Structure formats: C-alpha cells, structure tokens
Amino acid sequence: MNGATNETNGVHKKILPRLQIIDEKQEFSKDLPSFMKDEWQIADAGFNYNLVAVFGSQSTGKSTLLNRLFGTNFDVMNENSRRQTTKGIWMSRGKDMNVLIMDVEGTDGRERGEDQDFERKSALFSMATSNVIIVNLWEHQVGLYQGANMGLLKTVFEVNLQLFQAARGKEKTLLLFVIRDHVGTTPLENLSNTLTEDLKKIWDSVSKPEGLESCTITDYFDFMFAALPHKLLLPAKFEEDVIKLRERFANPNHKEFVFKPNYSKRVPADGFHVYAEGIWDQIMSNKDLDLPTQQELLAQYRCDEIATVAFDAFLGKIKGFRQPIEAGKIIEDLGPQMEEIRNATIKQFDKEASRYLSEVYKRKRQEILNKTNSQLHVFFLGQLKNLTKKAINTFNARIQEKLKGEGYDFAEVVSNARKDIETFFKNNAEEEFNQLSDSINEIAAKSRTEETKKMIKNLEKTVQTQINEFVSLYFKTPTTDMWGKIIGKFQEVLQKAEQQLLKKAKSFNSSEEENTKSLENLRKRSWQQLRKKIDDELADNMFLLKLRERFEEKFRYDEEGLPKVWKPDDDIDAHFRKAREDALKLIPLFAKVQIPDGIDLDIPSDDDFIFEESLVILSETKQHDLNVRFKRESDAFYLEAKRSVVQTTAR
C-alpha cells in the first residue's frame, strides 16, 4: 500500500499508508511508533494534531466518507462481495492536515448479533484518544430510538463517564453526527432536534457513578450535525457537500471548525504510541481505566525516555574534559563551557518533556539536573586541584628565582609573589566558581543530608545488632543484676556509636545544632531498639517458656543437671513450692527495666515518647495474668511428679 497512487484532479499523489493498530486478534500493532515518525511524519507535532474516530453501523459508508474527507485509503466494502470487513481499528493520517483518523470496524456487534465486547472496547479506546467522534447513520435511522446506533451511543456514554469522571466540564469530546442519504424533505434542523431528544433520553437511561447523578450530557459532549445526499443518486452534490464538510476539519477559521482546544486529550504526538498502547493494555486486562492515571504513567515513561536521550548526549559532550583534567591540565573557560553544556542538556529535555504532566516533568527535570551537576562537579574539583598545584609551583619558582639574585627584601619577595599568584588563581577560578558554586552548594547540601542519613542508618544497624546480642544473652539466664549489666552494656554501645557519629559529622562539616539533634535522635532510636528487643524476647509465650525453664531447672533436674527420680520419702511439695516461687520471681524482675542508681541515660522524651513510661514492660494486669497462667501450667508438673512416685512404689 505504501507508494500507491490515487488519481485526483489528474495529478498522481502519494497516498499515506494506513496501519491496523488493533488487529482481529485484538493485538496492538508494534508498528505505530515507526508509522507516527516515518510514514505519517507527525511524531514531532507536539500538541498540534488531532484525532478523529468514526462509529456507526456496518456498511453505512463510513470508510467511504473518511477517504473522501481526509484523503485516506481505508477499505471500502465492495458492492459485489458484501462480506464483512475484519474487526479491528485502522489508523491513517489525513492528507495535508495534522489529523489522525481511526476507522473502527465492527463497532456494531448487536446488528450482527455478536457479543458487544469489541464494541465496548473500541468505544473506550476511541473515547480515550479522540477529540472528535463522527457518528455515521442513515437518515432513516434517525428517530429509531431503539435502533442499533442508540445501543452503541449508550455504550459510548457509559464508557465516557468511566473515563472522564474527574474531568467533568473541562475536557469534552465532540460528537459529529453525519446523516447519510439525506433526502432533503426533512430539514437537517428537524433531524438534529430528534437526535438531540433521543440522546438526552439515552443519557438519562445511563447509570451514573456516585456523586455524578445530576451530571448532564453537555458536561461531557458537544454536538454537531451534518447531512450528506445519496452518494450514488446525487454523486456531484455528494462530492460538493463532502468538500464543505472537509472544511470544518481543515480550516481553523471555519465557524464550525471541529477541533476546539478543550477536546484535546493532552497527549503529545511523540508519546501517542505509548499512551495508546497503555490504554489498550488496560482495556484488554479489564482494568479500571481512568485518564489521569494514564496521563501520569505516560508522563513518567516519556520523561524518562527523553531524559535518557538528553543525558547520553550530555555525556558525549563532557567526555573530552576527562583526559586533560586527569593529566593535570587547566582547561580554559571550563566553567562557561560546562554551563553551556548543562543548559543545552536541560533545554533538550525541556523541549519535549515540558509537554507532559507538569508535576512529573518538574520532578524528572530536577533529577536530570542533579545528575548533570554531579558529573560536572567532578571536573570542577579536578580543575581547582590542577589550578592550585600550578599556583603553588609558580609561586615556588618565582621565589626561588628572586632569591638567587642579590639585594632583595625577603618579606617583600614573598608578599609580591603571593599577591601575583593569588590574583592568578582568583582570576582563573573565579569564573568557574561563580558559575558553579550555586549548584555545588545545592549538591553538597543534598548529598550531606543523604550521607548523614545513610551514616545514621548504618550506625543504628550496628547498635541494633549489638543490643540484640547482649539482651538475648542476659535474658537467657536471668539474674537479679541482669538489668545493671544490660544498662551498662547499652551505655557502652551507645557511647561508641555517639563517638562515631561525631567523628563522621565532623568530616561532613555539620553544624553544632545538627549534631545535637543527631545525637538526641540516636539515643532515642537506640533506646527504642532496646525496648523493642526486650518486648520481642518477652512476648507472652516466650515469657511463659522462661518461667517454665527456670521452674524445671529447679524442680525436675538435680544439682548436676540430671533428671530427678522421685523417691517416696522425697518432700515433693516443698521442692515444688520452692521451684515455683523461684520461677515466679522472674515476673517482678522482668516487669520493669531497672536503671541502676546514679545512672542517667539522658534519653530525650517528646510528644509521642516518654522515657519514664517506656521503662514499664509488664503492666500489673499482665503480671497477674502471667502468674495465674504459670501456676496452672506448673500444677501439671506437680501431678506428674506425684504420679511417678506412685508408679515406682507400685513396681
């Protein structure tokens, strides 16, 4: 089809090729990007393009009309073989206009008794992409409120509500009704009135989403009407009227120009293929489709793509700096050069990306700016280093030179040389410095916060590991001096962490105030980690286990750790009581963190954290509850012991 010719006015003109963007298997074409770019040459149009789709019953002359209006070559059904055209959506570009046209085949499933699945899908797709929808119908279909077209329109309305809920009244779609085989006895105005009435009725019958019960059809749609005479009976008049109709699409000064700005779906041409495919994917996976989300996804995807291209170009341009700087050379005008390269990069990014959703665009712009800055930062530092080296060498040489002569005033020699060299340095560095110091500060501040965060996180991790270790250790064999040991260990770990923090902070040049804040945070976080570990260790069942262990140790095993065999004259009751008492002592021991006298951990309290309160581990009720539960559990051991004696005696 590429290169096909069409004889119009005796001149051979190249017809733009069409593309089946959705095929009969409902798959999305992989060729759309190359068609947008090469075949249709519309990918660079930005927002300066429009999209038209057509709906209507089979064989109502839709494709014929599109071909006449836009100079396309969509399939027209042959008079002789009235076979159905395959389902799918075809797209082409209008000749001499920035308009994409979609010919939707098989939109009226109900007329052909098929399921309406594809009808709904293609309606969704068309509504989400098109600015103008042509609804094509025979004159005798007008007023047939129950007709096939009306079912289709109901679908269109429903789908539209789903898509544009959030954009009510701001973005609209134009429905252009084209009435075919208009005989002329009923004026167009009457036909339009009948249609308008019917549309309102259909709209009323559509169920509205919550909160939109009272929305009107004109919140979402504008309407226009046109009529065309019978193509075969009045061929000349037909052609004439088609040319008039074409004006509404082609001439922005026409009073009925169809492409109003608020019909635009705000998809830049270079992102159309991404957007369209994304929409189709959502439709196919039956996911809820809303345009704001699609717009956001599109913006992210395209801004990333655009940024990658711009950044690659940037890397290519700065490549040349590396070698000389690493070799210790001073690059003249490095500052201005870098500035220019960076500006060009951002400009390149802005050119395409700025058309996308503004918050996404701004975020991605900051990202690429940071990326370029940190690359340039390296060269900037290198240049300064080289400059310093050169300045010192020159200074040294200058002095040595002077000192070889005679009758010099040493102090004067030094101060003159210093003045010269400092001027040299300043002159050279100033430009670089001024150009870049702002961005340097910005990067430095940002990296510093990030580095500090990273460092603190690492510190906290180390603290946590140590805490976990010693708490587990001391809890394994609980003793009365356990808390003293734990608190002592905690202080030790914390102190080490604090020292490390201060050491690092110094290398970051953090302020006194920042340091105090970081230290406070560290102390508080570490304490919370300790508390969490304690809670983990003392979860209900874990604690009961501890009690049981302590109890069994005393009751079921002898001093050498061997299982006790009860003899008839053993005082089981006394043993039992002693062991149980011992075990129960653990409850008050663990009920509260006991800070040894004279120790102040200096953990800061704040609105949602009070240190004193955090000391309590087991509430009164909890303690009581554990008491009861454990007593019940230990009774079983008592009975078991008693029984074993009876058995031994009986043998």
Tokens of 554: 């005393």
Judged by CB under 6 A, the residue of 11, 30, 79, 541 near ligand GDP is: 79
**79 vs 210, which CB is nearer to ligand GDP?**
79
61 binds ligand GDP (CB under 6 A): yes
Give the nearest distance from C-beta 359 to ligand GDP in angstroms. 42
Q: Where are the alpha helices (DSSP H) in 327-357?
A: 334-353
With binding defined as CB under 6 A, does residue 526 bind ligand GDP?
A: no
Kindly indicate which of the ranges 199-207, 230-238, 290-298, 301-309 contains the residues binding ligand GDP, using the contact rule CB under 6 A. Answer: 230-238
Nearer to ligand GDP among residue 85 and residue 428 (C-beta) = 85
**Which stretch in 52-60, 184-192, 207-215, 414-422 sits in contact with ligand GDP by CB under 6 A?**
52-60
> Would you count residue 284 as binding ligand GDP (CB under 6 A)?
no
**Site size for Mg ion (CB under 5 A):** 2
Residue 601: which of 489, 516, 513 has the closest Cα? 489
User: Which residue of the chain is nearest ligand GDP when measured via CB?
Assistant: 61
Tell the smallest beta-carbon distance from residue 77 to ligand GDP (Å). Answer: 4
Single out the residue of 29, 60, 345, 435 in contact with ligand GDP (rule: CB under 6 A).
Answer: 60
Sign of CA dihedral 246, 251, 257, 262: positive
Q: Which is nearer to Mg ion, 102 or 325 (CB)?
A: 102
234 near ligand GDP (CB under 6 A)? no
* CA distances for 69 relative to 135, 243, 248, 369, 590, angstroms: 14, 7, 10, 46, 87
Site string for ligand GDP, 162-191 (x = CB under 6 A): ------------------xx----------
232 binds ligand GDP per the rule CB under 6 A = yes
Buried (b) or exposed (e) across 333-363, using 16+ Cβ within 10 A? ebbebbbebbeebbebbeebbebbbeebbee
Sheet holding 173-180, edge to edge: 19-22, 88-93, 99-105, 50-56, 132-138, 173-180, 221-227
Q: Angle at the Cα of 23 (from 21 to 28), degrees rounded to 5?
A: 50
Interface with ligand GDP by CB under 6 A: which range of 75-83, 394-402, 439-447, 494-502? 75-83
Distance CA 53, CA 517 (A): 62
How far apart, in whole angstroms, are the C-alpha atoms of residue 310 and residue 634?
A: 74
Contacting residue, 168, 231, 531, 548, with ligand GDP by CB under 6 A: 231
Work out whether 230 is an interface residue with ligand GDP (CB under 6 A). Answer: yes
**Residues 104, 58: Cα–Cα separation, whole Å:** 10
Query: Using CB under 6 A, which of the segments 71-79, 385-393, 502-510, 574-582 binds ligand GDP?
Result: 71-79
Residue with tokens 């109901």: 154
Looking at the Cβ atoms of 232 and 243, the one nearer to ligand GDP is 232
For the chain, the helix, strand and coil percentages under 3-state DSSP, each to the nearest 5 = 60, 10, 30
Q: Are 85 and 49 in contact (CB under 8 A)?
A: no
Does the footprint of ligand GDP cover residue 618 (CB under 6 A)? no
Task: Tell me: does residue 107 bind ligand GDP (CB under 6 A).
Answer: no
Quote the CA–CA distance of 36 and 289 in Å, as a whole number. Answer: 24
- d(CA 78, CA 76) in angstroms, rounded, equals 6
| Number of residues assigned to the chain | 651
Q: Which of 20, 26, 34, 58 binds ligand GDP (CB under 6 A)?
A: 58
The residue type found at 58 is: Q
63 makes contact with Mg ion (CB under 5 A): yes
List contacts with ligand GDP (CB under 6 A): 58-64, 76-77, 79, 180-181, 230-232
